[in-house]
Amino acid sequence: MSDLDGFNLALRLLFASEFYTTRKQLHLTQVQMAERLHIDPRSYAELEHGRSLCCTRVFILYLFNCKAEEEWGVTFSAIEELIRKSEVNRS
């Protein structure tokens, strides 16, 4: 597995966990979460199970429609940590 493949897998798993946890906190079904992200329910299920990675548009909708602005920092910190780990692994 290449470094990029490893990073993409880690990012997919991070987002899967983020989406699932947020959906449960908001007491939403997968269909309702998909509606908030303006994607079809099957695409949302793929994201939540870590089988795909969301596009920038979906990520922005997730932040604005599902997370309180004060929570954004936690999400960005987790992404930053993944980036730092991937850079260390490439060295």
The predicted-structure confidence for 33-68, as pLDDT tens digits, reads as follows 999 999 999 999 999 999 999 999 999 999 999 999
With bands split at pLDDT 50, 70 and 90, how would you rate the model's confidence at 5? confident
- The answer to whether residue 24 is domain-embedded is yes
Q: Is 91 domain-assigned?
A: no
The reply to whether 56 falls in a domain is: yes
C-alpha–C-alpha distance, residues 12 and 29, integer Å = 20
The reply to whether 49 falls in a domain is yes
- Give the angle 25-35-7 at the CA atoms, nearest 5°: 70
Domain count for the chain, please give it. 1
Range of the domain at 61: 3-86
Whether residue 75 lies inside any domain: the answer is yes
CATH of the domain at 42: 1.10.260.40
Kindly report the pTM of this predicted structure: 0.88
Q: Is the dihedral of CA 65, 30, 57, 7 positive or negative?
A: positive
Residue 38 lies in a domain: yes
Q: What is the pLDDT of residue 88?
A: 74
Count CB atoms within 10 A of the CB of residue 32. Answer: 14
In one-letter notation, the amino acid at residue 35 is: E
3-state class of 2 per DSSP? coil
- Positive or negative CA dihedral for 27, 41, 5, 63? negative
Kindly give, in sequence order, each residue whose CB lies less than 8 Å from that of residue 27, ignoring residues fewer than 6 positions away: none
pLDDT score, position 65: 97
Structural domain includes residue 59: yes
